[in-house]
């Protein structure tokens, strides 16, 4: 699964985010004060404007602190009743209709059925609820103003803040109820849609003498009799290879992201096979991610691997048949967390400079290295298949052979080189950030390269190496990935290789997935109500949709604001379009280019500010985690939940202030 | 502001502007007004005279361009004042999807009334306005008269000291109008202050203690109704039934100071006459304050 934005630990994230939040709020407040004062000064003169502005702030503060929960609850209840009156239940009808007919279009034979189902139900549910909440929230206060029902509310002892909060909470409550019901229906739909059984008969199987390795890593001793293998019947568009052990128990081997247990039963001389429900499909893997860095073909430390010409620079490539490697440094590796083995899961990118045997994967190896002693063991040789998750279990014990154990000693940079590097990094801030993010530079431990040194007799005489005693330093270990096929390349990003610590509850993960949709809904409701305090319904809807679109494309907008995109800013781009200029070349010099670039400087500055105020809307969706079977971490939930809360608070304050300072009647 | 003065406006002015801040209309011009505790005060004026604007300014629905409106010695924009106010808008702007009971319960909650009190008050008011049989129906099913009644009930949910009524008898049948007027007088008798604006001049005449007449945003007349309606330069004589001969004789006697005169006093004109005279006079002489009906 692609994770482009690094996830910082909560307590690292919190102070930075809090500071950023306070800075933005402070700036907004300052701008609002200056703007308010200027408007008041134009109308009432500079001295009275000061009194008016001060009074507005004082009244606003009083308004915020004198919120009555009882009144807010009354207004929330009113919003819920209002929603029911507006026939929100119709959305359920639409949803049921979609679910009923979805089965026609969802291919049960998909290689990744969970991804298919989740990438259908979660967006379908969230988009329906988002559209509903958008309509409800943006037309709420404008409708009250138009019908003048707000007159009878504001002439009661109700604060503007209570009206805004009541509306926001009301529509959030409606969205929550609908999302909960739809989520429950979706869960049942996914379970029913993915559940299936294959028919296995005696005719499908033949007797064999040995077993293969089971998917959970357990190895069986060869058996002489009673073992069977074959192919199961087709169901949900696929078949499984069947392996049955001598004791009559076996599995339908893993394909399409799942496997089935099978039991052979013999009654009255008749043998039947009972196939269980699919397993391993509805999972919530808890990954332990490491920090990624690279070494080049001479084992020299490198910021990145090789660029193979892919525009998407997410993955960096290592050259096959060389010493180049991608290195993941893990922490928290303890026998308690990994009692049986070290399950490594990889989704590698593969770049072939020649086709080779396309049926076979590109061979590679996994090394395990002690970060302190440098002791390294070649743990696994495997073949990487593209777009598939490779599961490699690194055992707790390694049998030492003459060539599989050695030392990779870290050669630190000399003080002079270190100083030169620091100067270089100071010049190139971006490089410095990348390097730090990748964990290449640790305090006092700047590594230039690695050198192989053969293991001494003391190691070789041990006969076996223990993972936790010999290769794990405290709770730290390194996994090195190397590509063994010359002129072929592995592409790796930090999230491409992780240790599969354990499985969390899929149901809870499903709930967390819907929590992501819920957060998006909260943002829509908050923006909708805030805009509706000063815009008419349709305009408030446009504004909210604008925020959503801006939020989805926030990263791109920031790129434009920073001038990192090709073709210059908006004004320069327009000139390029009409004058048919290439975006990658310098713009033709001249007055029009100068003017356009001056305009762009202003536009980009404004875009930059606007984009930083927008929520990165797509980030609140965790459908990918759910679809790819990854546990949504509590850190993710906490950080995004707090972010939504911050937006909610700011929008609530803003909406309250606007409603308080506007005339309700006309 | 003395304790007896419930409402006071000082130089209250409202100018409506367009989007660009240009003046569209000066709806209210320097209104100075005082409403005393325990009186029924009427605001009269033709359409566009500024009476609804005045009410909206008093309620804080609009902000004054200049001047000040004080209610209970608090600024009109202060939310706290609303705890002692009941407001019946021109058309009962209520949530049509609620029933009468739900409506009163909702507005009761806005006053932070405890549940038991809300129930009690809701039952009392529904009974008082005669909607007991329709209390479970949504307001969308109500006739205009019923809507006015539930509107009045919501205005009284908090047992207010000041009740502001905008066209309280609009849409009511004669019986409903009579009941409404009796209710207004009854509220005054309970010591409450009522301020109302209406086009129904006879209604105002029947219930108001004092009135203010506005024309094009300016205060044209202010005073007690009975005083304003008195015609001072005409003497009125009320006598018992007299024959034609006697009447002739009275005339003669009046000439020569004879016969028995049962009553001699000042006849009154109608409020409607007074109102129309003021409007007509104002239209002929813009900007001049009309001196009132007493000397006409």
CA B284 to chain CA centroid, nearest Å:
26
**Do the chains contact at A151 and B61, CB–CB below 8 Å?**
yes
**Do the chains contact at B110 and A153, CB–CB below 8 Å?**
yes
Mean pLDDT on B149-160: 93
Residues B86-143: tens digit of each pLDDT: 999 988 789 999 999 999 999 999 999 999 999 999 999 999 888 999 999 999 999 8
Identify the pLDDT of residue B186. 92
- Note every long-range contact of A558-567, with CB atoms under 8 Å and residues 24 or more positions apart, other chains counting: A558/A608, A558/A611, A558/A612, A560/A604, A560/A607, A561/A604, A561/A605, A561/A607, A561/A608, A561/A611, A562/A604, A562/A608, A563/A600, A563/A604
Q: Which residue has the tokens 């006459």?
A: B273
Identify the pLDDT of residue A443. 44
**Do the chains contact at B95 and A149, CB–CB below 8 Å?**
yes
Residues of chain A contacting residue B106, judged by C-beta atoms under 8 Å apart: 74, 77-78
Instruction: Write out residues 76-115 of B within 8 Å (CB-CB) of A.
Output: 79-80, 82-83, 85, 87, 89, 91-95, 97-98, 102, 106-107, 109-112
pLDDT greater at residue A263 or residue B289: A263
Q: How far apart (Å, rounded) are the C-alpha atoms in residues A249 and A543?
A: 61
Residues of chain A contacting residue B107, judged by C-beta atoms under 8 Å apart: 152, 156
Q: Is the confidence at residue B59, as pLDDT, over 50?
A: yes
Q: What does the block give as tokens for A137? A: 């929230």
CA distance A538 to chain B (A): 18
Q: Which of B59, B62, B111 lies nearest to residue A157, judging by beta carbons? A: B111
Residues of chain A contacting residue B92, judged by C-beta atoms under 8 Å apart: 152
Residues B174-219: tens digit of each pLDDT: 778 888 888 899 999 999 999 999 878 888 888 999 999 999 899 9
CA distance A5 to chain B (A): 45
Pick the CATH number of B5-230 from 3.40.50.300, 3.40.1080.10, 2.60.40.10, 3.90.1170.50: 3.40.50.300
Burial A212-234, CB ≥16 within 10 A → b, else e: eebeeeeeeeeeeeebbbbebee
Let me know how long chain A is.
666
Q: How far apart (Å, rounded) are the C-alpha atoms in residues A357 and A348?
A: 18
Identify the pLDDT of residue A422. 64
Q: Per-block average pLDDT, block size 10, for chain A (666 residues)?
A: 76 91 89 89 85 86 88 95 85 87 82 90 92 93 92 94 95 95 94 91 80 50 69 91 90 90 88 91 90 92 87 88 94 89 90 86 93 92 82 90 88 68 57 41 68 86 88 93 93 91 92 95 96 95 93 88 86 90 85 90 90 87 89 92 94 92 86
Q: What does the block give as tokens for A514? A: 């819907």
**Cα–Cα distances in angstroms (integers) from residue A517 to residues A99, A125, A183, A186, A453, in the given order:** 18, 8, 10, 13, 53
Minimal-distance CA residue of chain A relative to B115: A70
CA distance A86 to chain B (A): 10
Residues A18-33: tens digit of each pLDDT: 998 999 889 888 988 9
Percent of chain B with pLDDT over 70: 83
Residues of chain B contacting residue A70, judged by C-beta atoms under 8 Å apart: 109, 112
Using the Cβ of B63 and the Cβ atoms of chain A, whether some distance falls under 8 Å is answered with yes
A57 CB-contact burial (10 Å; exposed 0-12 / middle 13-18 / buried 19+): middle
DSSP conformation class of A202: G
Using the Cβ of A154 and the Cβ atoms of chain B, whether some distance falls under 8 Å is answered with yes
Q: Which residue has the tokens 């037309």?
A: A139
Minimal-distance CA residue of chain A relative to B113: A70
Identify the pLDDT of residue A364. 94
pLDDT band of B235, cuts 50, 70, 90: low
Q: How far apart (Å, rounded) are the C-alpha atoms in residues A163 and A150?
A: 9
**Do the chains contact at A152 and B87, CB–CB below 8 Å?**
yes
First CA to last CA across chain A, in angstroms?
55
Identify the pLDDT of residue A563. 85
pLDDT greater at residue B246 or residue B6: B6
Which of B99, B101, B132 is closest to B115 using CA atoms?
B101
Residues A292-346: tens digit of each pLDDT: 999 999 999 988 898 888 878 889 999 999 999 999 999 989 998 898 889 999 9
Let me know how long chain B is.
296
Domain(s) labelled CATH 3.40.50.300 in chain B stretch across: 5-230
Q: Is the confidence at residue B3, as pLDDT, over 80?
A: no
CA distance A159 to chain B (A): 7
Q: How far apart (Å, rounded) are the C-alpha atoms in residues B247 and B238?
A: 12
């Amino acid at each position: 699964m692609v994770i482009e934005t690094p996830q910082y630990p909560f307590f690292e994230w919190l102070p930075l985010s809090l500071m950023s939040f306070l800075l933005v709020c402070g700036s907004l407040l300052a701008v609002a004060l200056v703007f308010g004062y200027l408007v008041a000064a134009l109308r009432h003169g500079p001295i009275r404007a000061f009194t008016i502005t001060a009074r507005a702030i004082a009244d606003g503060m009083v308004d915020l602190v004198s919120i009555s929960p009882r009144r807010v609850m009354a207004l929330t209840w009113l919003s819920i009743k209002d929603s029911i009156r507006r026939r929100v239940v119709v959305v359920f009808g639409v949803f049921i209709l979609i679910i009923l007919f979805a089965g026609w279009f969802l291919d049960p034979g998909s290689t990744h059925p969970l991804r298919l189902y989740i990438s259908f139900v979660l967006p379908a549910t969230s988009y329906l609820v988002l559209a509903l909440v958008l309509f409800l929230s943006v037309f709420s206060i404008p409708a009250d103003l138009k019908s003048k029902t707000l007159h009878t509310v504001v002439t009661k002892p109700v604060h503007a803040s209570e009206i805004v909060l009541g509306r926001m909470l009301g529509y959030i409550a409606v969205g929550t109820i609908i999302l909960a019901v739809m989520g429950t229906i979706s869960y049942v739909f996914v379970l029913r849609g993915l559940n299936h059984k294959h028919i296995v008969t005696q005719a499908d199987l033949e007797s064999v003498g040995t077993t293969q390795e089971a998917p959970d890593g357990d190895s069986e001793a060869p058996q002489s009799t009673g073992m069977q293998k074959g192919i199961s019947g087709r169901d949900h568009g696929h078949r499984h290879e069947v392996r049955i052990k001598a004791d009559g128990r076996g599995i339908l081997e893993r394909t399409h992201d799942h496997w089935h247990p099978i039991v052979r039963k013999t009654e009255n001389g008749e043998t039947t096979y009972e196939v269980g429900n699919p397993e391993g499909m509805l999972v919530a893997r808890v990954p332990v991610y490491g920090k990624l860095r690279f070494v080049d073909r001479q084992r020299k430390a490198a910021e990145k691997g090789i660029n193979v010409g892919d525009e998407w620079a997410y993955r960096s490539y290592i050259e096959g048949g060389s010493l180049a490697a991608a290195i993941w440094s893990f922490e928290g590796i303890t026998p308690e967390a990994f009692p049986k083995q070290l399950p490594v899961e990889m989704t590698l990118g593969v770049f072939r400079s020649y086709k080779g045997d396309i049926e076979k994967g590109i061979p590679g190896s996994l090394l395990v290295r002690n970060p302190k002693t440098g002791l390294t063991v070649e743990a696994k040789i495997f073949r990487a298949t593209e777009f598939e998750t490779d599961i490699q279990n690194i055992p707790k014990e390694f049998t030492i052979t003459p060539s599989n154990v050695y030392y990779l000693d870290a050669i630190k940079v000399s003080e002079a080189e270190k100083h030169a590097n620091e100067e270089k990094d100071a010049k190139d801030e971006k490089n410095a950030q990348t390097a730090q993010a990748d964990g290449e530079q640790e305090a006092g431990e700047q590594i230039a390269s690695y050198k192989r040194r053969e293991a001494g007799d003391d190691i070789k005489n041990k006969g076996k190496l223990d993972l936790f005693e010999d290769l794990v330093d405290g709770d730290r270990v390194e996994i090195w990935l190397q590509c063994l096929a010359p002129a072929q390349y592995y592409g790796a990003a930090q999230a491409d290789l992780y240790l599969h610590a354990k499985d969390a509850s899929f149901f809870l993960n499903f709930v967390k997935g819907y929590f992501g949709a819920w957060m998006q809904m909260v943002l829509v409701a908050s923006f909708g109500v805030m805009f509706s305090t000063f815009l008419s319904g349709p305009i408030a809807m446009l504004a909210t949709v604008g925020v959503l679109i801006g939020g989805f494309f926030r990263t791109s907008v920031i790129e434009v604001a920073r001038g990192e995109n090709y073709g210059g800013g908006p004004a320069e781009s327009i000139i390029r379009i009409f004058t048919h200029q290439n975006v990658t070349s310098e713009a033709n010099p001249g007055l029009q280019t100068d003017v356009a670039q001056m305009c762009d400087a202003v536009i980009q500055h404004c875009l930059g500010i606007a984009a930083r105020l927008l929520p990165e809307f797509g980030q609140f969706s965790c459908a990918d985690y759910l679809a790819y079977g990854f546990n949504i971490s509590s850190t993710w939930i906490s950080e995004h939940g707090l972010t939504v809360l911050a937006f909610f608070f700011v929008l609530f304050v803003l909406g309250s202030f606007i409603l308080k300072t506007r005339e309700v009647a006309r | 502001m003395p304790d007896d003065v419930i409402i006071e406006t000082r130089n209250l002015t409202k100018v409506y502007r367009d989007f660009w801040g240009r003046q569209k209309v000066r709806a209210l011009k320097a209104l100075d007004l005082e409403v005393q505790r325990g009186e029924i005060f009427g605001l009269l004026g033709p359409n566009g005279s500024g009476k609804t604007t005045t009410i909206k300014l008093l309620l804080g629905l609009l902000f004054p361009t200049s001047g000040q409106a004080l209610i209970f010695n608090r600024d009109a924009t202060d939310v706290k004042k609303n705890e002692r106010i009941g407001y019946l808008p021109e058309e009962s702007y209520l949530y049509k999807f609620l029933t009468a009971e739900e409506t009163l319960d909702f507005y009761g909650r806005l006053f932070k009334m405890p549940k038991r009190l809300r129930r009690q008050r809701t039952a009392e008011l529904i009974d008082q306005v005669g909607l007991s049989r329709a209390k479970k129906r949504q307001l969308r099913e109500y006739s205009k008269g019923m809507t006015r009644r539930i509107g009045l009930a919501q205005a009284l949910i908090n047992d207010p000291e000041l009740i502001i009524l905008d066209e309280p008898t609009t849409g009511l049948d004669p019986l409903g109008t009579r009941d409404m007027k009796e209710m207004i007088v009854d509220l005054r008798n309970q010591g409450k202050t009522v301020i109302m604006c209406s086009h129904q001049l006879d209604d105002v005449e029947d219930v108001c203690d004092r009135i203010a007449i506005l024309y094009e945003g300016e205060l044209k007349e202010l005073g007690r109704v009975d005083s304003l309606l008195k015609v001072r330069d005409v003497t009125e004589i009320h006598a018992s039934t007299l024959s034609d001969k006697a009447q002739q004789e009275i005339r003669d006697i009046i000439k020569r100071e004879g016969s028995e005169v049962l009553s001699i006093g000042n006849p009154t004109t109608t409020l409607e006459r007074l109102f129309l005279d003021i409007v007509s006079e104002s239209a002929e002489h813009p900007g001049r304050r009309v001196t009132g009906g007493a000397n006409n």
